[in-house]
Amino acid sequence: MITDKEFTLRLIRQLSQALEKLILDKPEESLMQKDLDFDSLMKDIFKMNFSEVSSKKKEELIEMINERQERDHKDYYEMLGNLFYFKGKTESNNDFLDKARTFYERYLQNSGIFALPVINRISEIKKALD
């Protein structure tokens, strides 16, 4: 039996993977990439749509993540980093890019993983924001 937490975590991982493929410009022709509906996914994950999530300050989003189980934090941070990076690049939105940098940095801290693509994105974001 799948619990709500497991379902949400699976959604987070699927969204993060789909965004990663879009960021790398290697989208597959799956339904997930074709009809990536950020509002419905955000409602399933955070119980609010994308514009509500994106209007929150970084600190508020971090606080929301801190209310979740600690072992899941890295998944939330990676997903939010990918989400705000993708939206920041496609919409030329520096606020989204700044949020992406913060969440990527927190992902690296929480996961303990050396993720060169994420490190490269952080560097790219820093250059774009300067």
| Contact criterion met (CB below 8 Å) for 53 and 87 | no
pLDDT digits (tens, 9 = 90+) for 12-52: 888 888 788 778 776 555 544 445 677 788 888 889 888 89
pLDDT score, position 120: 93
Residues 103-122 have a mean pLDDT of 92
In sequence order, which residues have a C-beta less than 8 Å from that of residue 7 and are 6 or more positions away? Answer: none
For the question of whether the overall pTM of this predicted structure is more than 0.95, the answer is no
pLDDT score, position 78: 94
Percent of the chain with pLDDT over 70: 88
pLDDT score, position 52: 93
The residue to which tokens 């690049």 are assigned? 89
